[in-house]
Structure 1
């Protein structure tokens, strides 16, 4: 059994020892969107599906170094309730990807949600985190406004 530190009770010493054994809170940093202005929070609207060209459904966030885990953040910026698909992917340096989010939630006006944390994949280097919002299967969600961001955590 440990002995008490000078000037403290045995109970205080045990509590301090237990606190030292607890993991520190993870330090997280916002990732910057690819092609963005430097603001880590992206504001968008769900746009229509296009036969030619690209939709605005995908947003990539640059992973500038190795992190232990990642968190996605979504906030409704519309005045209407809406239901639509949300997908999240880890994209690796070899071009492979891993889907970590595949949901179709309903969001009330102003409602936010955190997805994760999702641990880094051992032996793989993550290059981008991809957030996909919207799909042709939910045309009623067209025009829905939202804000998204992604964090990497040490």
Structure 2
């Protein structure tokens, strides 16, 4: 993926634009809170079962970028395998994050993901857990997503 940068020279001060961010509702959420709390489950050994590693958040309008938040809820340190995808209205998707994250217990972090020009994002997916990295199994975390203009 190529990054394009452009330098602008300003001769007079330009006021900073205030960002407006809104929490996105999780798919299947209770409508009360945009924050999802989960425990990393083991991979499912049954042929038709699936682990509960994926969480989707609805995107109902165009945003310039998204903020994805992760907080370790457990009292012991763990390494969490995290992936994130933008899902588009045409059925395609784009992986925007894939890394192991080891926060101090009770803390976390966030990542900023740019929107994708020319395509409508209809969901943001965060996946925590992987069959090739089961070290975080049993550990609890919180996730949420904001859409920003």
Q: TM-score, normalised by structure 2?
A: 0.87
Alignment-derived partner of residue 95 in structure 1: 91
Alignment-derived partner of residue 136 in structure 1: 131
Aligned length: 136
Alignment-derived partner of residue 21 in structure 2: 28
2:135 match: secondary structure: helix
- 1:46 pairs with 27, 40, 62, which one? 40
Which has more radius of gyration?
1
Q: Matches of 2:102 and 2:108 in 1, distance apart?
A: 11
Deviation (angstroms), 1:141: 1.2
Please report the RMSD computed on the Cα atoms of aligned residues, expressed in angstroms: 1.4
Alignment pair present for 1:152 and 2:138: no
Higher helix share: 1
Structure 1: any 5+ residue segments left out of the alignment?
1-16
Report Cα offsets for 1:63-119 as digits up to 9, x if no partner: 011111111000000011101210111000011111111101212211210111x22
Q: Matches of 1:134 and 1:25 in 2, distance apart?
A: 35
Q: Matches of 1:67 and 1:85 in 2, distance apart?
A: 26
Structure 2: any 5+ residue segments left out of the alignment?
1-11
